[in-house]
Structure 1
């Protein structure tokens, strides 16, 4: 991670901190301990940074992770844990002085692929892209197989935050694919869940109370994930893609609700016109046209179908994307092409009174490049970006959308003056929930995070902005007001971090229980202080 033991500069640290860092480097080595601005990338998320940690520390084994946890317990030092870094809810960035930031990217081993018992065990820092590539060589996948940010996003991070994307249409969110975990508690001890808790292999999740589920969606507040075991399934060899356009939000939502109740597809997502247009601009700026063409050809059911898709794309995809208010995109899978085609036929039937079919360029591209480079951490014209979301029951979705429309009308003049604009991305969560994601954009200087994750050739072509504190503060308040609007309409959230309310929203009985669990596994409250409002 950049420095050697002799190269560490602790001159600005007090004596107790220097003593602590000496002990840390004895565990992980000086090259895996960064101090000061050397670690700035690691304590900056997609949205911002808050406080500088005492150090950024990267263990390279579970044993080192346990030793670090014990050391911080003995020294009374709080810590926070970083996965792939693609968070934007203050989930892992230090929010107070005196914390250690534990970066788990060094825990990157695929521990076991057990084809006979149908599971794979990975260390928490394994990325979804690495896992997918490794399993595909054997003809396997996990049911949920990663968010769109899977080039950076880790399995451990997705389990901590709850994620949806690839595989969610058929198999649900990331947590639903987990069988067992090894987690490090605040005192350094190792807790195993699922069947592993009984001394067996981690082949089963449900053995008495669901301890595996306890550590999903906890934002790292309960323990540190060290290893995760996920189910294995065979890759289905056939797939098809399809897209629809809708004149209004209500029609799109009804279409997605119908399809979700039949579990016909593997992966889906939906965009409004603003984000779709941003995708067009991004492809042009990044020089992605040939890559997109290649991905469509390489991942089409046949070469003929690939060329046909390209012709349709060239003739009408751009027109469809630029003229449609809302679009949905689906990837269906089958054990043979006839099954995939029959699923498409059913999707068309469900949509016949709601929308129109358009060229499926977007899902074909996603299928070919499921984990795209991090272009979208900035807007299409180089603007800063932060998303937020809520998951609503279908019965409350349209009322929320109407309230949101009025919300924007009230703030339209200020948003226009400051160059703030927004777009929407949507998804079904199981058969009963609807994800409403809002993306906010504003002109502002970029951060060290963007400089690190966005390809330089793309970044160099984007407009540059000066620091814009007024717009940045406005967006922060806008974000808080939008979260309040979600709460008013009964929405819940994934990736809670410290941005979304949890402890203040749940019932007294639920809060008492989760607090007692927190006190049991982390008696002094040193792990991820403030996450989940605990």
Structure 2
């Protein structure tokens, strides 16, 4: 695309979107062209549509002039999910498509624009006594629903309801030529977006696609009544195998809406990061979240009395939240989970962590830096329940072989485990290392936190060791046939597929996006 063509293109974008929604500002372009892990090619421009029709018209302009456009939501990728890998690429910023379009309490669905955050949706539904089955990732403060459905998410509700994509009934997407396509029952002339399974699952085609097949404009998710009761439990284990084994057994039952655990290193990081001010804020939310003053004060007092000291000597910790229609139901679930803890040589500890996590679901994203200001980068794999213990052992063995390199460069690791429905076990090792932070860290982390942390100079040697560790992790996960969220440009999705499956994927991409203009390079599809 020559410079004159580029100028004409931007004029056309401005006519459709308004000049204020088309940016060539260099600072913005650089910021939007990086994620938590990497900096890509700087985008040539950024467009910010406000509705599906504007998005469609903008994509028609891009299609006509063969302009590559990558979709960007909240920007919380750590796998190069949206950052340009090629020159002459623009970005579609979805954060102005942030509205809730319909809450249908009779038919039990909610429709949102793709740029609506999980936090916004949760807070709008809460006064109505409603919720989506999966109701947000830990990054839901900033993460958009459209981004989450492109990348897929784990956490709130995923222990019983699966990942974010399992709660979707219908999508409205814009194809590479600008045409608008609705899926599920919404595709019929008089249909509502209430049901996904009507003929081939076209909704599923555009989910977990790393934003490579179409631009998500709107999404419809199921609604459920907010459960009336909840309970929590925490436990500790001396060994990794007992810890992972207990989580796998619990996960198979599907009783816990959230089931997660920290290895000793990550536990220390989380305890070190928390401040007294944050503890007080968390305590207020625990009290407010209990539905009654007496009950709230009782639970808040338990958290306050427990403090954080009880975690000082914990080796491997496990935490669960359960919910149901009555207190008797949730207490029965907790009793079953505690029996599993005993069978795996664990013991109960204070349940402050799951209480606080549930009461403060969408806090500021200060954890994209380590407590000392070190860079943070996770990588994960989803394995069958029966492979969890062995896969975790293989990862620990690999980290042990890299220990001298880690120590030399000031690198340390931790691990988060969680479950997805009753058949997926997610293992997420995390790296912390001394390295210069990006402007995305400067923008995302709260100013008060940034003032307290240490700043590091560029450290390519340490980053190269982290990259080596990440590749070793990918190799281990591949040996287990692991699945991955946030495929982006990091996980070897296409490479790990059979030749026949690769052929089908390439046919789909070429049929929908023959010029490979949509998020080129994601999913391994150039």
Category of TM-score, reference length = shorter chain: over 0.9
Equivalence map 1:261-300=2 (5 Å): 261-284=252-275, 287-300=277-290
**Residues 56 and 102 of structure 1 are in contact (CA less than 8 Å); yes or no, is this contact kept in structure 2?**
yes
How many residue pairs align between the two structures?
521
Q: Deviation digits for residues 463-517 of structure 1, max 9, x if unmatched?
A: 1111212212222232122212211232221110110011111112211111111
Secondary structure, in 3 states, of the residue corresponding to 2:402? helix
Query: For 2:503 and 2:237, how far apart are their aligned partners in 1?
Result: 45
TM-score (norm: length of structure 2): 0.96
Q: Is the 8 A contact 1:273 1:321 kept in 2?
A: no
- In 1, distance between residues paired with 2:304 and 2:120? 32
- Deviation string, structure 1 residues 326-370 (Cα, Å, up to 9, x no partner): 111111112222222222112112222221111111111111110
Q: 2:59 aligns with which of 41, 54, 69?
A: 69
Q: What is the TM-score of this pair, normalised by structure 1?
A: 0.94
Are 2:80 and 1:94 aligned?
no
CA distance in 2, matches of 1:384, 1:516: 39
* Structure 2 residue corresponding to 1:103, chosen from 93, 96, 114: 93
Instruction: Map 1:60-459; keep pairs closer than 5 Å.
Output: 60-199=50-189, 200-284=191-275, 287-300=277-290, 303-354=293-344, 355-459=346-450
Q: CA deviation at 1:289?
A: 1.8
Partner of 2:32: 42
Provide the rounded CA distance (Å) in 2 between the counterparts of 1:122 and 1:488.
38
Distance, in Å, in 1 between the alignment partners of 2:139 and 2:310 is: 26
Cα distance in 2 between the residues matched to 1:303 and 1:245: 30
Paired residues of 2:186 and 2:193 also in contact (CA < 8 A):
yes
In the alignment, which residue of structure 2 is the partner of 1:466? 457
Q: 1:467-486 counterparts in 2 under 5 A?
A: 467-486=458-477
SS in 1 for 2:495: coil
Structure 2: distance between partners of 1:89 and 1:420: 19
Report the Cα distance in structure 2 between the residues aligned to 1:323 and 1:433, rounded to whole angstroms. 29
Range with bigger deviation, 185-194 or 490-499: 490-499
SS in 2 for 1:496: coil
**2:29–2:44: 8 Å Cα contact kept in structure 1?**
no
SS in 2 for 1:112: strand
Which residue of the partner structure matches residue 485 of structure 2?
Answer: 494
Residue 524 of structure 1 is matched in structure 2 by: 515
**Counterpart Cα distance in 2 of 1:151 and 1:57:** 22
Query: Do the aligned partners of residues 121 and 416 (structure 1) sit closer, same or farther apart at CA in structure 2, a change above 3 Å counting?
Result: same
User: What is the CA RMSD across the aligned residues, in angstroms?
Assistant: 1.6
The C-alpha deviation readout for 1:508-529, integer Å capped at 9, x for no partner, is 2211111111111111111111
Question: In the aligned structure 2, how far is the partner of 1:134 from the partner of 1:58?
Answer: 24
Aligned with residue 500 of structure 2, among 495, 509, 512: 509
Q: CA–CA distance in 2 between the matches of 1:43 and 1:447?
A: 11
SS of 2:493's equivalent in the other structure is coil
8 Å contact from structure 2 (residues 110, 222) kept in 1: yes
Describe the superposition over 1:292-338 as per-residue Cα deviations: whole angstroms up to 9, x where unpaired.
22122222365455444445445545333221121111111122222
**Do 1:378 and 1:384's aligned partners in 2 also have CA atoms closer than 8 Å?**
yes
The Cα of 1:84 is off from its aligned counterpart by 1.1
Q: Is the CA contact 1:180–1:195 (under 8 Å) kept in the aligned structure 2? A: yes
CA–CA distance in 1 between the matches of 2:298 and 2:246? 26
User: 2:511, 2:58 → 1: CA distance?
Assistant: 19
**Whole-Å separation in 1 of the counterparts to 2:300 and 2:188:** 54
In structure 2, distance between residues paired with 1:203 and 1:401: 40
Could you tell me how far apart the structure 2 residues matched to 1:234 and 1:471 are? 48
Provide, for residues 419-466 of structure 1, a one-character-per-residue CA deviation record: whole Å limited to 9, x for no partner. Answer: 111000001122222101011111112111111111101111111111
- Separation in structure 2 between the aligned mates of residue 336 and residue 403 of structure 1, nearest angstrom: 41
In 1, the alpha carbon distance for the partners of 2:334 and 2:291 equals 14
CA separation in 2, counterparts of 1:309 and 1:142? Answer: 26
Distance in 2, Cα, partners of 1:420 & 1:126: 36
Structure 1 residue ranges without an equivalent (≥5): 1-12
Once the two structures are superposed, residues 96-149 of structure 1 have per-residue CA deviations (whole angstroms, 9 ceiling, x without a partner) of 110011011111111111111111111100000000011112111100001010
**What is the distance in 2 between the residues matched to 1:169 and 1:480?**
28
Matches within 5 A, 1:23-42: 23-35=12-24, 36-42=26-32
